[in-house]
Amino acid sequence: MFNGAQVLPAIRDLKDVDRALHADSDYIVLLNTHIGQLKSLVRMIKKEGKKVLLHADLVQGLKNDEFAAQFLSQDIRPDGLISTRKNVLITAKKAGLITVQRLFLLDSLALESSYQMMKTIQPDCVEILPGLIPQFIEEVHQETGIPIIAGGLIRSRSEVEAALAAGAVAVTTSNRKLWKITEN
């Protein structure tokens, strides 16, 4: 799904952008961005041949609703949006973007309500947090048939491998030590 990349660099801090541009992954996940920097940041990343998955809920200075999703889709133009919000994902899907529904495994009720939301949205991918629980990666994939990304609290190569072995198509992490970097 992500051109074979197993680890998708997740950028929390702008100082990590250059390093992420040299990671093996064709995709970069943008977290904790500011609306004023977003357009130039996405443009720069795309100019380097990378695709951008933008976490819509974490854009500072922008409400996370369908109007924000329209703005992001039409003006900022990432390749995909990540969100916990139904209306954001439906709007992104209508705009032809990759949709990633973020799912926090808090309890059984959160899991069940997320299953219902997945049926409505039919996202391209589901990101499960924390990504350290292989049995839930397997369960969500079996229940939905939707590709799974594991994210959150993944700190070692063995945790990446466990998530992939459980059926995740990729892992998102802001831990730069887990990004395979190619030297140019």
pLDDT value of position 103: 96
pTM of the model: 0.96
pLDDT value of position 72: 98
pLDDT value of position 181: 72
Structural domains present in the chain: 7-178 (3.20.20.70)
Burial (CB count <10 Å: 0-12, 13-18, 19+), residue 144: middle
pLDDT value of position 94: 97
Ranges of the chain whose pLDDT falls below 50: none
**What is the 8-class DSSP label of residue 75?**
I
pLDDT value of position 182: 66
* pLDDT-above-90 percentage for the chain: 97
**Residues with Cβ < 8 Å from 69, sequence gap 6 or more?**
56, 81, 83, 87, 88, 89, 91, 92, 95
Q: Are 149 and 126 in contact (CB under 8 A)?
A: yes
Q: Which whole-number Å values give the CA distances from 70 to 15, 22, 87, in the listed order?
A: 28, 30, 10
Q: Are 83 and 110 in contact (CB under 8 A)?
A: no
In the structure encoding, which two tokens stand for residue 33, read together?
């961005």
pLDDT value of position 183: 56
Residues for the chain: how many in total? 184
- Between CA 129 and CA 106 the distance in angstroms is 9
Average pLDDT, the chain: 96
